[in-house]
A and B are shown apart, each in its own frame.
Chain A
């Protein structure tokens, strides 16, 4: 997959858990747009309303730890995020993101304060994702793959 993603970033910290990404009090909501409007409200209520379309969330270690709620990547996608860049991801969040076609970029050593802005031109190395994750991401998520497998294009 050869895709260039460019976007404005917002920077959040380490151990941003699923309750901060999408608090429990909103879990009964099923409309993706409404889900997106609450994204990261546990960090700040101001993030979702002002998030730049196609923007990138940059985080430290263990992004998405906690619950298995798929609302977390749905919220990020629906808010307009094109990718999440982090030092590391919690496992279930990582799988959920890949399944929905939200790109999780693992960039070791990244943390609040060390993000390099575009103007400096510095390139930070990222980890190569596994073949299985890449196969799903290249298809645009698990849903197109499953539809193809079950002959429901």
Chain B
């Protein structure tokens, strides 16, 4: 069996599970973000009274942090009341950050667990050897009532990433290259196991970036076998004992895709589809792409490592007049680390706008919305029409290094000459 199947088997009280089977599995942690007041409504509509376990579920207020309008404030108020009424042990209010960064930091994510959240990017937690998957409000309400959810045991695709990344090629570039080949629906209903020497040597932040984007290929969940970096991270934080699962030798994947990371160059997902991926050099060769806004943030590209590289590129320089660079640290912990290291000061000196940790403008809710006709380069996860504001704005997805180098020149720019 695969590690993911072992997790599903363990949590559904079975010795084994087979691809395509429907199992009802215990959820180890459930998270509701602040777009999902409907979860509370569905909970009561279905006859819910108290959550099944007040130590295993939490709200994270990240999409509207802090609230931009009366409606979202009223939603927060109702959710806060629900959390208080149920005496939830964990509560992450508007001062914390993006759920997928906040949960691992708080130690509620660890290897071998099932985490379900009302957010598609819950695939992120494959970085820790956990099975993470997103669901809607009403599925979440059934979890809050029962502690369980039904799952179809997915086919598992192996994406083998071999070799060392050349200078200037970051995990975001690697996962964009994968996405360009597998396409936006290449892994629908399936799981992706990222393997290979590149993954074995990858740090926690990079692993999270890659697993995060698995859902952009349609994946139900992602997985990476934990390495020492992961164990160092979770052993300091985990709030429960955990058991790492291992894939049996000789496990037969539904498909295998092999990538030689050492041959990659920086990548871009061009407007307006995540699968419209091209090497950066190809885009630049087509003529200058003028930018109005750069954005560094989100559960994909707002971690300390991401902000560090942007600060390195921009230190002592300044972005051009009439452009803006919005930087949104993924969490309070990330922001504090970036302040301690001076990155925030360097970025502000370079003309960046720093906003509160959270989802920010990634989903077009607030703090960096695009006007019709504007062009943005961003370290986030989606460039769908209207994602960050106007449907007539254009978005390019890139690594934080590419975003920083591009904003420095006001046009899309290869970051490699700026890394010395």
The interface of chain A, by Cβ under 8 A from chain B, is: 15, 17, 19-20, 23-25, 27-30, 42, 61-62, 65-71, 73-74, 88-92, 95-96, 99-100, 130-132, 141-143, 146-147, 150-152
User: Given A28-B72, A142-B142, does the pair A95, B136 have CB atoms closer than 8 Å?
Assistant: yes
B385 and A69 contact, CB distance less than 8 A: no
Closest to A35 in B: B38
User: For the complex, is B145 an interface residue (Cβ under 8 Å from A)?
Assistant: yes
User: For the complex, is B135 an interface residue (Cβ under 8 Å from A)?
Assistant: yes
Q: Which residues of A contact B69 (CB under 8 A)?
A: 28
A91 and B365 contact, CB distance less than 8 A: no
Least Cβ distance of A138 to chain B in Å? Answer: 15
Q: Which residues of B contact A24 (CB under 8 A)?
A: 363-365, 386-387
Pull 12 A–B residue pairs with CB atoms less than 8 Å apart, ordered by A. A15-B273, A20-B385, A28-B35, A66-B382, A68-B134, A68-B136, A99-B136, A131-B22, A142-B46, A142-B138, A142-B139, A150-B46
In the bound assembly, the distance between CA atoms of A55 and B139 in angstroms comes to: 26
Chain B residues numbered 366-397 whose CB sits less than 8 Å from any CB in chain A: 369, 382, 384-387, 389, 391
Q: Which residues of B contact A89 (CB under 8 A)?
A: 188
User: For the complex, is B119 an interface residue (Cβ under 8 Å from A)?
Assistant: yes
B384 and A28 contact, CB distance less than 8 A: no
Question: Would you give the 0/1 interface string for B18-51, flagging 1 where the beta carbon is closer than 8 Å to chain A?
Answer: 0000100000000000011110011001111000
User: From DSSP, what is the main secondary structure of chain B's interface residues?
Assistant: loop
User: For the complex, is B220 an interface residue (Cβ under 8 Å from A)?
Assistant: yes
User: For the complex, is B118 an interface residue (Cβ under 8 Å from A)?
Assistant: yes
In the bound assembly, the distance between CA atoms of A69 and B386 in angstroms comes to: 15
Other-chain contact of A17, B71, B135, B150, B384 (Cβ < 8 Å): B384
In the bound assembly, the distance between CA atoms of A77 and B28 in angstroms comes to: 32
Q: Which residues of B contact A142 (CB under 8 A)?
A: 46, 138-139, 142
In the bound assembly, the distance between CA atoms of A141 and B72 in angstroms comes to: 27
In the bound assembly, the distance between CA atoms of A131 and B45 in angstroms comes to: 24
A99 and B72 contact, CB distance less than 8 A: no
Q: Which residues of A contact B139 (CB under 8 A)?
A: 95-96, 99, 142
A92 and B136 contact, CB distance less than 8 A: yes
B391 and A42 contact, CB distance less than 8 A: yes
Q: Which residues of B contact A90 (CB under 8 A)?
A: 185, 188, 218
A62 and B185 contact, CB distance less than 8 A: yes
B218 and A91 contact, CB distance less than 8 A: yes
In the bound assembly, the distance between CA atoms of A95 and B137 in angstroms comes to: 11
Least Cβ distance of A84 to chain B in Å? Answer: 15
In the bound assembly, the distance between CA atoms of A10 and B239 in angstroms comes to: 50
Q: How many A-B residue pairs have CB under 8 A?
A: 134
User: For the complex, is B82 an interface residue (Cβ under 8 Å from A)?
Assistant: no
Please tell me the number of chain B residues within 8 Å of chain A, measured between CB atoms: 50
Closest to B33 in A: A68
Least Cβ distance of A77 to chain B in Å? Answer: 12
In the bound assembly, the distance between CA atoms of A90 and B185 in angstroms comes to: 7
Q: Which residues of B contact A74 (CB under 8 A)?
A: 38
Closest to B361 in A: A24
In the bound assembly, the distance between CA atoms of A132 and B71 in angstroms comes to: 36
User: Given A70-B138, A130-B152, does the pair A146, B185 have CB atoms closer than 8 Å?
Assistant: no
Closest to B63 in A: A27
A92 and B382 contact, CB distance less than 8 A: no
Q: Which residues of B contact A132 (CB under 8 A)?
A: 22, 150, 152
Least Cβ distance of A41 to chain B in Å? Answer: 9
A65 and B218 contact, CB distance less than 8 A: yes
Q: Which residues of A contact B170 (CB under 8 A)?
A: none
Q: Which residues of A contact B184 (CB under 8 A)?
A: 15, 62, 65
B384 and A20 contact, CB distance less than 8 A: yes
In the bound assembly, the distance between CA atoms of A96 and B48 in angstroms comes to: 19
Closest to A152 in B: B47
User: Given A91-B218, A95-B139, A152-B46, does the pair A67, B364 have CB atoms closer than 8 Å?
Assistant: no
A143 and B42 contact, CB distance less than 8 A: yes
Q: Which residues of B contact A73 (CB under 8 A)?
A: 136
The 6 closest A-B pairs by CB, nearest first: A152-B47, A24-B364, A96-B136, A70-B136, A146-B46, A62-B185
Q: Which of A17, A24, A69, A143 counts the most B-chain CB atoms under 10 A from its CB?
A: A24
Closest to A17 in B: B384
A68 and B119 contact, CB distance less than 8 A: yes
Other-chain contact of A19, B47, B142, B382 (Cβ < 8 Å): B382
Q: Which residues of A contact B384 (CB under 8 A)?
A: 17, 19-20, 42, 66
B364 and A88 contact, CB distance less than 8 A: no
Least Cβ distance of A60 to chain B in Å? Answer: 10
B218 and A67 contact, CB distance less than 8 A: no
In the bound assembly, the distance between CA atoms of A92 and B118 in angstroms comes to: 10
